[in-house]
Amino acid sequence: MSKEEAAACGAADLSRPPRTPAVAAGTEKDGNGESLVAPRRSPPPGSPEPGKPQCAHPDGGQGAEGQQSAGSPEYPLIIRSKKLVLHMDINNTILVSDSATGQGPVAALNSYLSTVCWGRFNQEGEWQWLSEFPSLLPPSPDASSFSSNFGRHTKFTSSTQGHPFQTLFFHYLQLLEWPGQPDAVFSVPGENGRHYHRILPAFFKLLAGLCQQGRRFAVIFRTFGKDLTSLLQTTHSALQGQHPQFSALKEVVLPVDLRPGKIRCSPKKVTVSRGKEFVSSWPDARVVYDYFSAMDGLGGFQDHYTWWSTNNFSSQGGKPLWVDPYDPEVQHICFDDNIRLQDGESIIHPQVFMGQGGQEYCTVPTSELYGICLVQNDLLQAIANPDYFLMTVSQCEEQYEKYLSQTRADGGC
């Protein structure tokens, strides 16, 4: 969710159409060692055993899309032992609509495109495009996005300046369209009278694929908006087999906590609450890290928009994320379309623990964890490629092994 959208609530070219999809570019570091073992704190009361798989797909059977097994992705994952904790933004990550701002799929897709199309002002003061294709990263050092100069534009491709991208816009809008009769839960009406996927199929493919691989994992929705309750209920319905295209998701066992939680920040601490659960980063931030690391299944937390605003929408006031490079058991990965290489414009506050099992941590540049634990979500690829999230998670895991080795060699931040 952008700062404009939230306010209403209170590399490589990754986006070319119909070609073999690319995956998000990452920061690559050399090294191939394994991290040291860090002592683990006790998980919150009621949590399952740390080594217990978070889902099961016992019987195989017909798959999520009606033909293949629900957990047989076309993109084969390399089996790894680490538990995955996936922190996922909602709008422009797994949803292409925003109930808080009233944006339907047409407006939301237009708005997103205005953030990934790049140009500059020429000597006459006229805007000129520098690339005919969208991309997450600028095509040249002097490029700036349309939205950074003119604001997010909900009718971007209908405007005179955005018209060159109209064909591409209709391509992705068509891919997003809901097949067959509308569904009251899983489809949303568009501004043009057509219906579209409410939750991207790639997200359900992620759940099915990780379960089939026998992975231990948790998905934590992280948003500034107010869609949590509805999204958790919709996902829960899909896991009960009610999604017409993913009925085999009922074969996996994946708990959903329907209680929306809250994350609140202050100069001294971060507090996390959900129901009767409450943890604080003061005096030991590892308590919060262990709280998220011990989660299973799906849950969601509303992050602190006012704090982000107070910090000028920079990473310092963004959604907090702790990473422990000395923890051999867990990898945290965050997907958000508003992650940026420039910390002054990014939405995540990445903090890395220093030393094995220690309480001290430091804020690191987004670039250090970009493509490793921080994924700038490519919405166009998430729409076009059902395996996008699976592919990107696998790539992050590969890069994380190199990051761990380098961090150990350097002695941490």
d(CA 323, CA 332): 7
CB 324 within 8 A of CB 350: no
Burial of 219 (0-12, 13-18, 19+ CB in 10 A): buried
Looking at residue 319, its pLDDT comes to 98
CB 51 within 8 A of CB 299: no
User: If we measure between CA atoms, which residue out of 188, 281, 208 comes closest to residue 62?
Assistant: 208
Looking at residue 81, its pLDDT comes to 84
Looking at residue 12, its pLDDT comes to 36
CB 350 within 8 A of CB 369: yes
The pLDDT tens digits along the chain (413 residues) read 555 554 544 433 434 443 323 333 333 333 333 222 223 333 333 333 433 334 443 333 333 333 333 444 455 556 678 999 999 999 999 999 877 678 999 999 999 999 999 999 999 999 999 999 999 999 999 999 999 999 999 999 999 999 999 999 999 999 999 999 999 999 999 999 999 999 999 999 999 999 999 999 999 999 999 899 999 999 999 999 999 999 999 998 899 999 999 999 999 999 999 999 999 999 999 999 999 999 999 999 999 999 999 999 999 999 999 999 999 999 999 999 999 999 999 999 999 999 888 889 999 999 999 999 999 999 999 999 999 999 999 999 999 999 988 877 776 66
Copy the structure tokens of residue 134: 């969208």
Concatenating the DSSP letter of every residue in 264-284 gives: EE-SS-EEEEETTEEEE-SS-
The single-letter code of the amino acid at 279 is: V
d(CA 21, CA 386): 10
d(CA 262, CA 86): 17
d(CA 215, CA 218): 10
Looking at residue 413, its pLDDT comes to 66
Copy the structure tokens of residue 12: 């490589």
Looking at residue 34, its pLDDT comes to 28
Looking at residue 282, its pLDDT comes to 96
d(CA 305, CA 298): 22
Q: Where are the alpha helices (DSSP H) in 56-180?
A: 105-116, 146-150, 166-176
Q: What are phi and psi of 145, to 5 degrees?
A: -75, 155
